[in-house]
Structure 1
Amino acid sequence: MKSAMEIEKIASVLKVLGDKTRLTMVKILDSHDCCVCEFVEIFKASQPAISQHVRKLKDVGIVRETRRGQWIIYSLEKGSDFYPLVQNMIQYLPNQDYKLKELEEQGLRISCE
């Protein structure tokens, strides 16, 4: 049986995903890891605004960060208890790969290897 605390956690995950930018970020991260600078270009938003979005996703455990040299790379936390819920939701979203393709064409896709 699910506890009231789990309902609280799920409510906070859904609240975080209720934002269009964050929902789009999660869709992108489902197939591609990204850094903040790429999201800045994709969403045409300031770095602090993007960092705030990413922090909220991290706080609820949907996204994790990995350091690669000077870059911090974000990816979906596929080990999260909420990943099946997130995956179920984002399957209904349109593919966002074209946004990364546009970045590549502009030479703005970061290669963090």
Structure 2
Amino acid sequence: MNTIATIDVQRASQLLKLLGDPTRLTMMKLLKSHECCVCEFVEIFKMSQPAISQHLRRLRDIELVKEERKGQWIFFSINENHEDFPFIQSILEQLPEQNESIAELEAQGLRISCN
């Protein structure tokens, strides 16, 4: 039995177009299991802060990701309450884990911790 709710073709097309960018798709996979801040994505993707912020803005604009301020940092995570989360999750489950990126950040001392 398929537990994924049906999704309108137009909406699915919009989401697939947004996730068709390798950076945004990788961000979503990372956010599936880790909260991250912009500066961590800058290190992971070797991109400028404005470029990373632009990718996150596009994901945030349709509320696929949410942000939470912790001290001076803003952390991003997947919005699991989004109506299209089951569709997104089914895509992300097909992708390889990205934990090595987080492990590299930790090894370099670049992982942000607010504990």
Q: Does the alignment reach a TM-score above 0.5?
A: yes
Gaps of 5+ in 1: none
Identity of aligned residues (%): 54
| Cα deviation digits, residues 57-111 of structure 1 (max 9, x gap) | 1112210111111111000000001110110001111110000000000000111
Aligned to 1:71: 73
User: Is structure 2 residue 24 aligned with structure 1 residue 57?
Assistant: no
Superposition misfits of 4+ residues, deviation over 4 angstroms: none
Secondary structure of the structure 1 residue equivalent to 2:68: strand
Which of 37, 40, 43 aligns to 1:38? It is 40
* Cα distance in 1 for residues equivalent to 2:82 and 2:43: 28
Note the aligned Cα RMSD (angstroms).
1.4
Which of 25, 28, 32 aligns to 2:27? It is 25
Number of aligned positions between the proteins: 110
For residue 12 of structure 1, report the CA deviation from its aligned partner.
1.8
Q: How does 1:72-91 map to 2 (within 5 A)?
A: 72-91=74-93
Query: TM-score w.r.t. structure 1 length?
Result: 0.91
Query: TM-score w.r.t. structure 2 length?
Result: 0.90
Gaps of 5+ in 2: 1-5
